Amino acid sequence: MAAYKHSAVLLLCCFALVSDRTLASKPDQNRAEPEPGPESHARKSDAISPREDDSNREPEPEPAGSVQEDPGSRWQATEALDPAEEAAGTRRRAPNDQFQEELVIRPLSSGDIYSSFQFRTRWDTDFFKPGRKVANYRLFPKSLGQVITKFSVRELHVSFTQGFWRTMQWGPPFLSAPPGAELWVWFQDTVTDVDGAWKELTNVLSGIFCASLNFIDSTNTVQPSASFKPLGVGNVTNQKFLRYAVLPREIVCTENLTPWKKLLPCGSKTGLAVLLKSEKLFHSSFHSQAVHIRPVCQNWECKSTSWELRQTLNVVFDLHTSGQSKREWSLFKMFSRTLTEACPLASSSKIYVDVTDNSQGALFELSPSTPSLSQAVVLGDRRTYSVYDLVNPDAFGAQRSLNILLRWRTADSADALRPLLHGERYVAGYGLQTGEIHTLIYNNHPYRAFPVLLLDTVPWYLRLYIHTLSVTSRARDNKPSYIHYQPSKDRLRPHLLEMLLQLPPNSVTEVTVQFERALLKWTEYTPDPNHGFYVGHSMGVSILYSILGSWSSVAMDTNVCVSVFPCKEESTYFVRVYTEPLLVNLPTPDFSMPYNVICLTCTVVAVGYGSLYNLLTRTFQVDEPSPSLAKRLANIIRRMRGVPLL
């Protein structure tokens, strides 16, 4: 009997081993990334750096010949080929994704320096083709691809910012971002439960970026009606598929930078991402990292779409804290690294240094100098850039390392271009009961008026008195042409106020609204309640006219453009302006007293209950004083004796 058991066990083990071997011998065909096309293409190029990220990539797979073995299961896992290529019988396909990286360095008039990285991955694929699952990721990060597929996302924009962009001192940024975390998502029309998808999406993103985006819930999510339009291609814009949330309290640190860097194809090993070292990046006045995913046109005819992932990182280094008060900036001083090579997977890798104010080297000296210059109209202003092309190995010189150095010759700085649109916000009033929110919007254009769409999200615990809303420009009432207001519901949703205002030229428009502060339950306060509560920023969206005058171009769809600069010179440009977030104090209960309060209040209720109970259940009687103990004992004895009582 025991022998049978043992033999059965042995048989099972043998069977398990055999099946394991057979399974292991087949390469993981469904999971594996290696495709015949890109692999062989990559092998033909000089340097291969396998992408080290968390997606399932096998190190070096079997040679190209062996993939012909099992064509049936292979083709299930990979994308369908272009019929023309299939007909041509070629197994090798051109890669349908490309990656570009750029860095723009712009010295600011206050002595600070602004560096803007943009990493752009474009992939000609369709995540939503029915019946086929995208499984082979090369340059596009798999985690984001899965997010897009699972939640049927059409566009995703998330940004993490530390610091506030000082428009008046630094000019307009390439891509503005508010302090804290901001997330807005357009879902596809096929999504039935947008709120459920939003909730899951925020939690998944919070895991991907190691940020506490899971604090986004219905109390800080809004559905703006007019402030957002999809930035990618798309025909239907039904606002019910849009969700916008902001977390002004969110802090950005190395924990958020590391997963962001991991999404890049080359990681932080080669290319421009080598410069992204957190000890220098977070020692800055402004740091903003963002991820933007949107569908774009593949070419100018726009017959099919491809997906674009743009990762941007903007950082402003302060003259005094990072620059040691010397007006001399270099890559090594800013990032404590120099560049050694471009990312091999990148089709273009460029550095642009803004030399507009430096004609003939009058203001600062740029070394190593480069002959190539390019001009572009950025944010309505024509700027000149010196271009360093890192794909060309000559850019690195003899030492195989590139350290761009800007040394100022003179102490004076160029005049800064005054920003056309600028916003400020503050809380007025005193005490913990009421207050007033003032939003100021400056229009600095000398003669043009333009409309601005203002979006305000105020949490529910500031009870806005919308009847006190007033908009004044130049001390006169300025009636908004469009107002959309959604009142808040306690503990459910915030206030949403959108207004279309016409800003007169060269003026300040002031929007004021009074509010009352609510007392919250003691569990709803943050651990540091006397710090205050953050109220999100106000956002102004506008299309501005360029100072350069009107240009005759047709407004092109800038989706096709590859670089951070728009490809066609336009007379108008889109700008988004953020104001500061607010910090508001709320009245607090005493947090040490829950038990005491319960006891005291219940005591008062019991006093009421007790006195009424007494009066209800007892009746008046004449008070006979009870005899003393001695008399009572004497009475007992007397009763026993049968003698009259005392």
**Closer residue to another protein (CB): 14 or 599:** 599
Write the CB contacts of 322 (distance below 8 Å, at least 6 apart in sequence). Answer: 280, 283, 284, 333, 334
Residue 162: CB minimum distance to another protein, A: 31
The answer to whether 302 and 233 are in contact (CB under 8 A) is yes
The whole-angstrom separation of Cα 572 and Cα 419 is 14
Q: What are the phi and psi torsion angles at 33 (to 5°)?
A: -80, -30
The answer to whether 82 and 125 are in contact (CB under 8 A) is no
The answer to whether 16 and 315 are in contact (CB under 8 A) is no
Residue 195: CB minimum distance to another protein, A: 19
Take residue 337 and report the two structure tokens written for it. 């690294």
| Amino acid type, 574 | F
Residue 524: CB minimum distance to another protein, A: 9
| Secondary structure letter of residue 249 according to DSSP | T
Secondary structure string (H, E, C) spanning 20-59: HHHHHHCCCCCCCCCCHHHHHHHHHCCCCCCCCCCCCCCC
**Closer residue to another protein (CB): 526 or 553:** 526
Residue 366: CB minimum distance to another protein, A: 55
Residue 457: CB minimum distance to another protein, A: 21
**Closer residue to another protein (CB): 94 or 597:** 597
**Closer residue to another protein (CB): 75 or 613:** 613
**Closer residue to another protein (CB): 391 or 586:** 586
Residue 532: CB minimum distance to another protein, A: 13
**Closer residue to another protein (CB): 292 or 495:** 495
Alpha-carbon dihedral angle through residues 317, 322, 326, 330, given to the nearest 10 degrees? -70
Residue 607: CB minimum distance to another protein, A: 6
The whole-angstrom separation of Cα 304 and Cα 578 is 34
Residue 430: CB minimum distance to another protein, A: 7
Residue 612: CB minimum distance to another protein, A: 6
Residue 496: CB minimum distance to another protein, A: 19
| Amino acid type, 56 | N
| Secondary structure letter of residue 608 according to DSSP | H
Nearest CA to 50 out of 345, 354, 483 is that of 345
Task: Using alpha carbons, list the distances in angstroms from residue 216 to 29, 157, 228.
Answer: 39, 15, 19
**Closer residue to another protein (CB): 188 or 486:** 486
Residue 586: CB minimum distance to another protein, A: 11
b/e 517-544 (16+ beta carbons within 10 angstroms → b): beebeeeeeeeebeeebbbbbbbbbbeb
**Closer residue to another protein (CB): 190 or 530:** 530
Nearest CA to 318 out of 111, 117, 115 is that of 111
Residue 641: CB minimum distance to another protein, A: 23
Residue 436: CB minimum distance to another protein, A: 15
Nearest CA to 458 out of 582, 373, 547, 640 is that of 582
- Residue found by looking up tokens 């001083």 in the block: 333
| Secondary structure letter of residue 324 according to DSSP | T
List contacts with another protein (CB under 8 A). Answer: 430-433, 490-491, 518-523, 587-590, 593-594, 597-598, 600-601, 604-605, 607-609, 611-612, 614-616, 618-624
Distance of CA 584 to the CA centre of its chain: 23
Largest CA distance in the chain: 136
User: How many C-beta atoms surround the C-beta of residue 279 within 10 A?
Assistant: 9
**Closer residue to another protein (CB): 48 or 432:** 432
**Closer residue to another protein (CB): 72 or 644:** 644
**Closer residue to another protein (CB): 131 or 431:** 431
The answer to whether 513 and 488 are in contact (CB under 8 A) is no
Task: Using alpha carbons, list the distances in angstroms from residue 233 to 10, 151, 296, 420.
Answer: 62, 18, 6, 28
**Closer residue to another protein (CB): 43 or 631:** 631
**Closer residue to another protein (CB): 16 or 607:** 607
